[in-house]
Amino acid sequence: MYLTRFRFNTHRSGARKLLSSPQALHAAVLGGFPELLPGDPVGEPGGPRVLWRVDRNAKAEVFLYVVSPERPELTHLVEQAGWSKADPEIGWRTHDYSGFLDQLEAGQTWAFRVTANPVHSIRRKDGEPTKLTAHVTPRHQAGWLLKKQERCGFEVVRRQDADPALPEIDGYELMVHDRDNTGFDKPDPRPERKGKRMRVPVVTATFDGRLTVTDPEALRQALTSGIGRAKAYGCGLMTLAPVG
């Protein structure tokens, strides 16, 4: 497995175009893997796959993170939306991720970040099929992640100074930010609307916090196969960093 960081040059029109379209950026990311053809699956169900995420730290500091089974070749991205790779600090850098994954152990504490598509299935009336519906409030979005933690092999750290009078969900070292529900446009596949475009709603939220490893193998799977849905649109990639 490999972890790659690419820095966008936000002065370039190509960068602005990619950052405004998750669909176009997904295609650009997959273009970095010569063995993948358009339409090919990006990984076996439940197994390692190509994951990506955009972090907007500042207007002029926007990074693309990619986790992948193979090492990517991103010259096309540099030419379209990046900086000269002569300086690796502002081009792209790829690291062997397997060694880090192998060192995960129960009891370790890490800072984490993940951008996700927090959704749940609901049934509005008895007898109706369930329908996927997005969580739209920070509280419900945080609750969505907390429900994932056991299966994904970690526990979000509880705050030691939490007020016991507050709801339990407020007692975690967890912040929800960069919430978005704009979605994106794509060609409408319906024959009667040939040439038209349709809106694809995608609700996303970014979670920052601290976690403790409870099941290293389950966490490795979450880090390499993603968490939640909408992975093709920049969701599901969790990264870890040393605390402090």
Which CATH number covers residue 32? 3.30.70.1200
pLDDT at 126: 67
Residues 88 and 110 occupy one common structural domain: no
Residues 76 and 181 occupy one common structural domain: no
Residues 161 and 124 occupy one common structural domain: yes
From 171, 151, 153, select the one nearest 161 (Cα to Cα).
171
Average per-residue pLDDT for the chain:
87
- Most confidently predicted of 9-23, 102-116, 120-134: 102-116
Residues 115 and 95 occupy one common structural domain: no
Residues 135 and 215 occupy one common structural domain: yes
Residues 6 and 53 occupy one common structural domain: yes
Model confidence pLDDT, tens digit, residues 59-113: 779 999 999 999 999 999 999 999 875 565 667 899 999 999 999 999 999 999 9
DSSP string, 135-171: --SHHHHHHHHHHHTTTTTEEEPBPTT--TTS-GGGG
pLDDT at 87: 62
Residues 131 and 218 occupy one common structural domain: yes
Residues 57 and 18 occupy one common structural domain: yes
Model confidence pLDDT, tens digit, residues 148-195: 999 999 999 998 877 666 666 778 999 999 888 876 666 767 777 777
pLDDT at 181: 80
Q: 60, 78, 101: which is the final residue of a domain?
A: 101
Q: 101, 118, 147: which is the final residue of a domain?
A: 101
From 209, 6, 193, select the one nearest 95 (Cα to Cα).
6
Residues 96 and 123 occupy one common structural domain: no
Burial of 43 (0-12, 13-18, 19+ CB in 10 A): middle
Residues 166 and 96 occupy one common structural domain: no
Residues 90 and 198 occupy one common structural domain: no
* 37 has pLDDT over 90: no
Residues 137 and 208 occupy one common structural domain: yes
* Number of compact structural domains in the chain: 2
Alpha carbons 73 and 50: distance in angstroms, whole number = 13
Q: 80, 101, 122: which is the final residue of a domain?
A: 101
Higher pLDDT, 141 or 83: 141
**In CATH, what number is assigned to the domain containing residue 137?**
3.30.70.1210
pTM above 0.85, yes or no: yes
From 116, 158, 122, select the one nearest 141 (Cα to Cα).
116
Query: Which residues span the domain enclosing 53?
Result: 2-101
